[in-house]
Amino acid sequence: MNVITLKLNSGDEVIGRVIGEESNGDITMCKPVCLTPGQEGFGMIPWMMSAQDGQMEFNRNSIIAQGETIEEIAKKYLEVTSGIQLSI
């Protein structure tokens, strides 16, 4: 699936699909989102509301940790960003 979670030094936890990695460690993600608490559990909102094309580059110096997103959340991310319903 190639959906990963980044923990940034700002405290944000960002989920997105990796579309590129630079030799210097920078990561480009497509449609990154962050989890937000809601009345029915957690929801996903765009990490940067005003970005035009949905692709964002994260500087390696701003990333504390990264890892593969757990399957249930990765599938939900793909549903939210693609509009395709996946079976969990």
Q: What is the pLDDT of residues 3-29, one digit of tens each?
A: 999 999 999 999 999 999 999 989 999
pLDDT of residue 86: 62
Task: Measure the CA angle with vertex 67, ends 65 and 71; round to 5°.
Answer: 150
How much is the pLDDT for 83? 75
pTM given for the model: 0.84
87: pLDDT confidence band, cut at 50, 70 and 90?
low
Using DSSP, state whether 73 is helix, strand or coil: helix
Judge contact between 30 and 20, C-beta under 8 A.
no
Q: The tokens of 64 are what?
A: 């504390």
pLDDT digit string (tens) for 23-78? 998 999 999 999 888 888 888 999 988 877 788 999 999 999 999 999 999 999 99
